[in-house]
Structure 1
Amino acid sequence: MKQTIRLEQFEHAEIRTALAKMNRGIERETLRITSEGQLATTMHPAALGATLTHPLITTDYAEALMEFITPVSTSIPTTLAQLRDVHRFSYKHIGEEYLWPLSMPCYLNDTSDIRLAQFGKSHVGTMKTVYRQGLTHRYGAVMQTISGVHFNWSVSDELWPLLAAEDGRENNADYRSERYFGLIRNFKRWAWVIPYLFGASPVLCKSFLKHSSADLNFHELSSGMVYVPHATSLRMSDLGYTNKEQAALKITYNSLDDYVAGLRRAVFTRSEQFANIGVQDGDNWQQLNANILQIENEFYSPIRPKRVTESGETPTQALERAGIQYIEVRALDVNPFTAVGISAEQMRFLDLFLLYCLFTDSPELNIECQQATEKNVNKIVLRGREPGLTLTDEAGEHSVQDRLAHLFAELAKIADVLEDEATEYHSALQTFAPAITDPEATFSAKLFRMYEEASKMFQHVGMRLAVEYRDALKNSEFEYYSESDFQKMAAESLAEQAEIEAKDTGSFGDFLTAYFQRALDKKKRA
């Protein structure tokens, strides 16, 4: 299947205008580390605000694993300015610590150094921490210290009635969800492109392997580092987040109803493996439940359909209520060549890539074809820079080079119609085009060469970049927010958390029972 874009829809001036108003948001994860390059064991600084309720600054799995979130914006420069400001404010309040600039973690001494993220004493805050305790028992603490970048994206509301009219459809939640699921299926077909171009974790600290059972073809560099030849993204390999019982669920992306039913089934299907952990040990909670997934967020996928939830809703209930609002790309490693983990050029490439996925035909993917796309991703993750590598998909077997050449040609057509920013989009394509024929132009190859050079001089790449980025951001001015803006957000988040805690009634066990009872309820489509 050789996919081509539905170019006829781009001929309409209104559609071209609406296309340019894409919505974006970034979630960037980063570990706090000491000046010795080890994981910080300090708690999340109170001056940054409450992680339960702060709109921009929270934690992911561990106290040391910070997560920075930007609001929805239609401007790439604005989003990056907001992200830089969040980093600046955080640097002011983490003392002599640094932010780790890589996806794979720094030196890990003992798992006791990894402190579970705390979200206060409310039931909802306790649920977040118990969920993370469950992840620890299920997958191990070390795996949870791996960082990534999530790219949240949607087309403008103005575009949908225009596309619906072109397709002879009513502009409603069902139509928008169908189109977004078409995008997701095409993303799955092409998902390998992301780790090929932007994978940036070909190397990791040997200390990580003490806590991992992954059987990969590791070679040693000096300075305590190991690598897999030709790998692009060890973060996305079996070293990362894997759950064989999840794979057996065979969750597909052919319809909203099927997707929701699959996820909900996973949350309410008992796992014999995880049941052995136990749910409670006396008063201590080991996990939220003994099912294949504790909650829907545990389901790993490189892309997710999303909608902002209302109070008390699960993610699938929000989707049932009003359909897909945006999609979340989760396949991005932290970009080590920029202080904030992602660049404007990457964001523009992703714009083009996601528009391509939206505007090309997208037949249903049965589970066998979907699993074939996942095999392609795994091949690129572990062998992406291997000379002569081929991939097999619905179009047959082709070289990586041929598939990339076809894709970039199609993306250039989309760049042509993004009138006001066409130059920037073509420039982004030109930035990454050398990697079509030369795997040494990829992020992973560039980073690996840095490690090779550094090892000869007994230097550490991650620490050198951490110092460089910290100094650059600490010594520069706020661009979008101000110090007082952040102080206000911190104070408001603390007050909001205290209000939530004051309203709690009953036991945590009762709260959890009620949560899962509500999670079974089906929402009627708006």
Structure 2
Amino acid sequence: MFSKIGELIFENEAVSKTSDFKMGLEVEMHRVDGTGNLSEEPYPAAIGDEKVNPWITNDFLETMSEVVTPAASNSLDAMHYLYSINTALRTALSPGEFLWPLSMPPRLASDRIRIAKAGPEKEKYFREWLKKHRLAEGAPCGAHINLSIDRHLIEMVYQKMPDRFANELAVQNYLYTIVAQGFVRYRWLLTYLFGASPIAEANYFKKGDKLTHPVRSLRQSKKYGFGSNFTPDYTDVESYVARIKRAVAKKEIYTAAQFHGPVRFKGDNVENLATDGIKYLELRMLDLDPTSYVGIRTGTLRFIRLLASYFIMSPALNKSEVSEALAVADKRNEIVALEDPTKKSQLSEAAIALIEHLKVYVDLIQAGPEYQELIEDMEYRVKIPMNTPSARLVRHIKDDSLTYYALKRAKAYQKSALLALHPFRGFEDNASLTADELKAKIFRGSWEPDNR
């Protein structure tokens, strides 16, 4: 089961380091009014200037509020941050405003849609994007997860394998690359397990498009989801950078930022990733979970950590096979995304096979019982499709719409936020807080997240 690197990590009792990712979260939700239309209220004044606040900002549309957390050392700490900042946003909303809990946007009325006030450069990018895409294509929301590998793991692998890697930077880029390949290769499984966008509301589809049945994830579908036809090259970091440069030169994409694929290599500068090193991965393949106040659950984050650890420890694809394997995976994701969520998936056998591998892996590394329970839950979703998020949402569809359900959730979450005893109010005075300042002001010594 283990690769040579995996065996090395296992023999040196460093398996725990493979899941010790620092984790940051970015969760987008639209502001809406009480009838399910995009809000016409301005960006909430109580959370400061949208152009300088790094923790609550806008993404593409003025109503698309994005909560961003500092990097934390574990899933629980990341969720503490997310709850606190999300509550700060909710308590700053105007009366009668709510956060839409679904990935697919509420009904779209062209006269009410406003591009985000994000500064000249970003607004210029938005306008260029709109030359090739419909506005509705940029409206779906999701949850993004940022993962950075434990530095001690990189150092240990280099110390034990100096003949294979030229330096620690080479180890760093290699490990991030194989983790990225793993997530792209098995994105279809995440779409199955966590897809939660079975339908779209009014005015989302272009003329002539129409679903014949609910699906697992409209947002994760290349045909109907967030508009991007750009295909990256995940063979290695050099190929990734070269592909993006070619795309910008040929005007396939306006800038490197226009690549909105399932996984992005992140660093100080895209062009210098190979020499400066990948700093973290941005995973972009999760729909919002409408049953969660913050759009994502701790168990989901644990599953992502487990997968990332498994990818580090398992044999990687040969370089010559990467492009073809990931092209096949892309087709698989489209199949799963557009399946009827209430029925057995065409890829259920492949899903069970991977879950069986994860069961063995959890036993080998002696992970805690929470991971064993988590794997059992994921297996249950595969074997009984009605337990998947999208299938559960199908039960709430009324008149080809989820508006009633979404507003009921949104209003309940807003009521809960308004009952918070000490919501954070610090953004109004200083919207450009550093991560350390944010931690000190939000938690006031009552809780100490581990940001090491």
User: How does the TM-score come out when normalised to structure 1?
Assistant: 0.75
* Counterpart code for 1:232: R
Per the TM alignment, residue 357 of structure 1 is displaced from its structure 2 partner at its CA by 2.0
Give the Cα–Cα distance (whole angstroms) in 2 for the partners of residues 203 and 484 of structure 1.
Answer: 36
Tell me which residue corresponds to 1:465: 409
* Counterpart code for 1:105: P
Secondary structure at the counterpart of residue 106 of structure 2? coil
Per the TM alignment, residue 475 of structure 1 is displaced from its structure 2 partner at its CA by 1.4
Tell me which residue corresponds to 1:233: 217
Out of 449, 457, 462, the residue aligned to residue 395 of structure 2 is: 449
Per the TM alignment, residue 101 of structure 1 is displaced from its structure 2 partner at its CA by 0.1
Mapped pair 1:377 → 2:333: yes
1:180-219 correspondence to structure 2 within 5 Å: 180-209=176-205, 212-213=206-207, 215-216=209-210, 218-219=211-212
Give the Cα–Cα distance (whole angstroms) in 1 for the partners of residues 182 and 372 of structure 2.
Answer: 22
Mapped pair 1:260 → 2:241: yes
Tell me which residue corresponds to 1:159: 153
Question: Which has the higher mean CA deviation after the structures are superposed, 181-190 or 64-73?
Answer: 181-190
Give the Cα–Cα distance (whole angstroms) in 2 for the partners of residues 145 and 466 of structure 1.
Answer: 18
Give the Cα–Cα distance (whole angstroms) in 2 for the partners of residues 461 and 348 of structure 1.
Answer: 27
* Counterpart code for 1:207: N
Give the Cα–Cα distance (whole angstroms) in 1 for the partners of residues 102 and 401 of structure 2.
Answer: 20
Task: Answer yes or no: is the 8 Å Cα contact 2:19–2:309 preserved in 1.
Answer: no
Give the Cα–Cα distance (whole angstroms) in 1 for the partners of residues 400 and 108 of structure 2.
Answer: 23
Tell me which residue corresponds to 1:303: 263
Out of 279, 295, 299, the residue aligned to residue 345 of structure 1 is: 299
Any idea what the Cα deviations from partners look like across 1:403-439, whole Å, max 9, x if unmatched? 22222222234434666x6122222222322112122
Per the TM alignment, residue 208 of structure 1 is displaced from its structure 2 partner at its CA by 1.8
Does the C-alpha gap of structure 1 residues 358 and 492 become closer, same or farther in structure 2, counting only changes over 3 Å?
closer
Give the Cα–Cα distance (whole angstroms) in 2 for the partners of residues 463 and 455 of structure 1.
Answer: 15
Give the Cα–Cα distance (whole angstroms) in 2 for the partners of residues 375 and 409 of structure 1.
Answer: 23
Mapped pair 1:474 → 2:415: no
* Counterpart code for 2:146: N
Give the Cα–Cα distance (whole angstroms) in 2 for the partners of residues 388 and 83 of structure 1.
Answer: 34
Task: Answer yes or no: is the 8 Å Cα contact 2:48–2:429 preserved in 1.
Answer: no
CA RMSD, Structure 1 to Structure 2 (Å): 2.5
Does the C-alpha gap of structure 1 residues 94 and 319 become closer, same or farther in structure 2, counting only changes over 3 Å?
same
* Counterpart code for 2:216: T
Secondary structure at the counterpart of residue 138 of structure 1? coil
Out of 137, 144, 160, the residue aligned to residue 131 of structure 2 is: 137
1:390-401 correspondence to structure 2 within 5 Å: 390=346, 400-401=347-348
* Counterpart code for 2:297: S
Give the Cα–Cα distance (whole angstroms) in 2 for the partners of residues 458 and 345 of structure 1.
Answer: 25
Any idea what the Cα deviations from partners look like across 1:264-290, whole Å, max 9, x if unmatched? 111121xxxxxxxxxxxxxxxxxxxxx
Task: Answer yes or no: is the 8 Å Cα contact 2:140–2:226 preserved in 1.
Answer: no
Tell me which residue corresponds to 1:327: 281
Tell me which residue corresponds to 1:517: none
Tell me which residue corresponds to 2:99: 99
Which one has a bigger Cα radius of gyration? 1
* Counterpart code for 2:263: I
Task: Answer yes or no: is the 8 Å Cα contact 1:42–1:63 preserved in 2.
Answer: no
Does the C-alpha gap of structure 1 residues 438 and 492 become closer, same or farther in structure 2, counting only changes over 3 Å?
closer
Does the C-alpha gap of structure 1 residues 457 and 148 become closer, same or farther in structure 2, counting only changes over 3 Å?
closer
Task: Answer yes or no: is the 8 Å Cα contact 1:135–1:141 preserved in 2.
Answer: no
Tell me which residue corresponds to 2:380: 434
Does the C-alpha gap of structure 1 residues 176 and 33 become closer, same or farther in structure 2, counting only changes over 3 Å?
same
Does the C-alpha gap of structure 1 residues 39 and 178 become closer, same or farther in structure 2, counting only changes over 3 Å?
same
Any idea what the Cα deviations from partners look like across 1:116-142, whole Å, max 9, x if unmatched? 1113xxxxx201111112222221212
User: What runs of 5+ residues in structure 1 fail to find an aligned partner?
Assistant: 120-124, 220-227, 270-290, 310-314, 391-399, 494-526
Mapped pair 1:242 → 2:227: yes
Per the TM alignment, residue 193 of structure 1 is displaced from its structure 2 partner at its CA by 0.5
Per the TM alignment, residue 337 of structure 1 is displaced from its structure 2 partner at its CA by 1.1
Tell me which residue corresponds to 1:108: 108
Secondary structure at the counterpart of residue 245 of structure 2? helix
Tell me which residue corresponds to 2:446: none
Per the TM alignment, residue 28 of structure 1 is displaced from its structure 2 partner at its CA by 0.2
Per the TM alignment, residue 470 of structure 1 is displaced from its structure 2 partner at its CA by 1.2
Tell me which residue corresponds to 1:524: none
Alignment size in residue pairs = 426
Percent of aligned positions that are identical:
25
Task: Answer yes or no: is the 8 Å Cα contact 1:147–1:333 preserved in 2.
Answer: yes
User: What runs of 5+ residues in structure 2 fail to find an aligned partner?
Assistant: 435-452
Per the TM alignment, residue 379 of structure 1 is displaced from its structure 2 partner at its CA by 0.3
* Counterpart code for 2:416: A
Per the TM alignment, residue 294 of structure 1 is displaced from its structure 2 partner at its CA by 0.9
Secondary structure at the counterpart of residue 40 of structure 1? coil
Give the Cα–Cα distance (whole angstroms) in 2 for the partners of residues 458 and 103 of structure 1.
Answer: 11
Per the TM alignment, residue 185 of structure 1 is displaced from its structure 2 partner at its CA by 1.9
Any idea what the Cα deviations from partners look like across 1:1-55, whole Å, max 9, x if unmatched? xxx3445345345413423522111100000000111001222123212222212
Mapped pair 1:292 → 2:273: no
Does the C-alpha gap of structure 1 residues 20 and 389 become closer, same or farther in structure 2, counting only changes over 3 Å?
closer
Task: Answer yes or no: is the 8 Å Cα contact 2:200–2:401 preserved in 1.
Answer: no
User: How does the TM-score come out when normalised to structure 2?
Assistant: 0.87
Secondary structure at the counterpart of residue 328 of structure 1? strand
Give the Cα–Cα distance (whole angstroms) in 1 for the partners of residues 403 and 131 of structure 2.
Answer: 35
Give the Cα–Cα distance (whole angstroms) in 2 for the partners of residues 404 and 382 of structure 1.
Answer: 16
Task: Answer yes or no: is the 8 Å Cα contact 1:106–1:205 preserved in 2.
Answer: yes
* Counterpart code for 1:462: A
